[in-house]
């Protein structure tokens, strides 16, 4: 971009632009950049926030009510239910000694919001 001697005009690509127009263009580009950064930052915060807290205690309590001791294997299986791996949760609870029907119910509780 070259500034001419007459009245602060510049010639860019064969068209004349005044200094005021150049400042206005720079301001709009800067504003667009700031807004884009703000949207990306807020979008990242929203994406990182959990949609609904999971209920591991309800899952482990249901497993305990079914007669199984709350071990690390039971808690780990309930964590799988929290992330939506219902089959992995049921399999883990069943392997830990929780009966099939109680395991399914406990895993469904793990994926729900605590009450």
Taking only the tens place, the pLDDT of each residue in 8-65 is 555 556 666 666 665 665 777 777 676 676 566 666 554 444 444 568 999 999 999 9
Calculate the dihedral angle through the C-alpha atoms of 84, 85, 90, 91, rounding to the nearest 10 degrees: -170
pLDDT of residue 24: 60
What 3-state DSSP class applies to 24?
helix
**Rounded distance, CA 95 to CA 76, Å?**
12
Query: pLDDT of 55-102, one tens digit each?
Result: 899 999 999 999 999 999 999 999 999 998 999 999 999 999 999 899
Q: How far apart are the first and last CA of the chain?
A: 64
pLDDT of residue 114: 74
Nearest to 80 by CA among 69, 64, 71, 91: 91
- pTM, rounded to two decimals: 0.53
Domain ranges in the chain? 2-48, 56-110
């Amino acid at each position: 971009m070259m500034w001419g001697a007459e009245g602060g005009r510049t010639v860019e690509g064969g068209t004349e632009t005044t200094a005021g127009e150049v400042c206005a263009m720079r301001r709009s580009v800067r504003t667009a950049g700031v807004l884009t950064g703000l949207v990306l930052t807020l979008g990242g915060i929203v994406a990182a926030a959990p949609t609904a807290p999971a209920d591991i205690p309800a899952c482990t309590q249901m497993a305990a009510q079914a007669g199984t001791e709350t071990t690390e294997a039971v808690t780990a299986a309930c964590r799988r239910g929290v992330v939506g791996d219902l089959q992995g949760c049921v399999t883990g609870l069943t392997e830990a000694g929780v009966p099939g029907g109680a395991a399914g119910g406990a895993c469904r509780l793990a994926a729900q919001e605590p009450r």
